[in-house]
């Protein structure tokens, strides 16, 4: 377990999957996005999370994206594959395939669409974990998935050795303290909701799984670095500058917003697969204005201090 803890440190953007004009996967552009994030100093990548449009891809497409990530940045930073499937059987098959491809760890979600009872949630997590030797981070996001990974469930899963971390995306920051008080260092905790990220880090999270990092990676890295070295004034300055965009991570159209932000910053395309559609109207205008304002007022990190 000690070895796994080094995995869950720092900034882990949920990398986007890029598409061509015909909405086929653009593998070159996807690898370019991944490589650029690593070049800008992130500590790991989430591949095929929500922002990677996991559930909009076919099984063979998902495996091709994972292979591409290993080819592009494998060995440079840990690669964590999102496991977001409709059934436990599919999740097991995907987890085994990810391990065979060379992915370093998994981010395991509840089964999609169906809202499980607590015993079903536990059984799903346990079955996937037993099917792989990879370290696993459970993903708790009650607003998005309509189920809370409660503390009793986590207590029953303590005997599963490769379930080692929790991505905490509940909007209530008290959850971080409650998790650590209840379980100590049994589970590494990662902040998972962008606009509660600094609160999570201050309360004991070891890192940040982020959406808006895809558009502003250097600032995200500087934010976490400032918090780590105890420069809370600098961390707060960056956080306040970032907050108008960080709020987008808590909205249902987060993927479209983040990919639009990427496009504005010259880092990717806003193309998404249906049922998602690119932003239009006032929502689009608002997001563009927020991104352009952030771009025009980017904080200048103290590189010497950060180093």
What phi and psi values does residue 277 have, to the nearest 5 degrees? -135, 150
CB 268 within 8 A of CB 276: no
Q: Which residue has the tokens 């500058």?
A: 241
Distance CA 24, CA 41 (A): 29
- Which residues are identified as catalytic? 139, 167
For residue 189, what are its two tokens?
A: 């905790």
Strand order of the β-sheet with 105-108 is: 10-13, 207-210, 188-191, 163-168, 136-140, 105-108, 79-83, 45-47
Distance CA 176, CA 292 (A): 33
Greatest C-alpha distance within the chain: 51
Q: Which of 44, 47, 46 lies closest to 7 in space, CA to CA?
A: 44
For residue 95, what are its two tokens?
A: 């987890």
First to last CA, the chain: 28
Q: Backbone dihedral region of 10: left (phi > 0), alpha (psi from -120 to 50 degrees) or beta?
A: left
For residue 134, what are its two tokens?
A: 């990879």
Q: How many residues does the chain have?
A: 307
């Amino acid at each position: 377990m000690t070895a796994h803890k080094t995995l869950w440190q720092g900034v882990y953007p949920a990398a986007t999957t890029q598409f061509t004009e015909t909405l086929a996967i653009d593998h070159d552009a996807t690898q370019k996005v991944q490589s650029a994030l690593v070049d800008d100093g992130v500590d790991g990548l989430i591949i095929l999370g929500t922002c990677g449009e996991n559930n909009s891809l076919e099984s063979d497409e998902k495996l091709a994206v994972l292979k591409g990530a290993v080819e592009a940045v494998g060995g440079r930073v840990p690669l964590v594959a999102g496991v977001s499937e409709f059934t436990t059987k599919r999740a097991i098959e995907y987890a085994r395939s990810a391990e065979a491809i060379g992915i370093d760890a998994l981010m395991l979600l509840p089964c999609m669409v169906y809202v499980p009872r607590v015993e079903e949630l536990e059984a799903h997590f346990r079955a996937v974990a037993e099917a792989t030797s990879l370290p696993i981070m459970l993903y708790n996001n009650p607003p998005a998935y309509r189920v809370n990974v409660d503390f009793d469930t986590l207590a029953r899963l303590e005997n599963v050795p490769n379930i080692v971390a929790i991505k905490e995306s509940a909007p209530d920051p008290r959850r971080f303290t409650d998790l650590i008080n209840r379980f100590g260092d049994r589970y590494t905790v990662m902040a998972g909701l962008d606009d509660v990220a600094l609160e999570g880090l201050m309360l004991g999270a070891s890192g940040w799984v982020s959406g808006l990092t895809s558009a502003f990676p250097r600032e995200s890295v500087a934010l976490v670095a400032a918090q780590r070295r105890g420069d809370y004034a600098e961390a707060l300055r960056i956080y306040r500058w970032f907050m108008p965009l960080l709020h987008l991570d808590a909205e249902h159209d987060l993927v479209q917003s983040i990919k639009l932000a990427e496009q504005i910053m010259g880092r990717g395309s806003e193309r998404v697969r249906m049922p998602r559609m690119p932003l239009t109207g006032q929502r689009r205008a608002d997001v563009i204005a927020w991104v352009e304002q952030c771009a025009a007022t980017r904080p200048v990190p103290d590189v010497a201090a950060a180093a």
